[in-house]
Amino acid sequence: MKVVVIDYGMGNLFSVRRALEVSGAADIEVTADPSRLELADRVVLPGVGAFVEGMAGLTAGGFVPAIHDYVASGKPLLGICLGMQMLMETSEEYGLTPGLGLIPGKVRAITRMRPDGTRRKLPSIGWAPLRPAGVHGWAGSVLADMQPNVPMYFLHSFHAEPEQAQHMLADYEYDGLPVTAAVRRGNVTGTQFHPEKSGPSGLAILRAFLEA
196 is catalytic: yes
81 is catalytic: yes
Among candidates 190, 207, 198, 202, which has minimal Cα distance to 54? 190
What's the rounded Cα separation, in Å, for the pair 123 and 212?
32
β-partners of residue 30 are: 5
**Catalytic one of 92, 159, 194, 211:** 194
β-partners of residue 44 are: 5, 78
What's the rounded Cα separation, in Å, for the pair 83 and 192?
8
**Contact status, residue 172 vs residue 131, Cβ threshold 8 Å:** yes
The single-letter code of the amino acid at 107 is V
What's the rounded Cα separation, in Å, for the pair 55 and 74?
22
**Catalytic one of 21, 53, 81, 167:** 81
Q: What residue spans of 1-136 are helical by DSSP H?
A: 13-22, 51-60, 63-72, 82-85
Q: What is the dihedral of CA 28, 126, 135, 92, to 10 degrees?
A: -90
Non-local (6+) Cβ contacts of 22 within 8 A are: 203
**Catalytic one of 93, 156, 159, 196:** 196
User: Which are the catalytic amino acids?
Assistant: 81, 194, 196
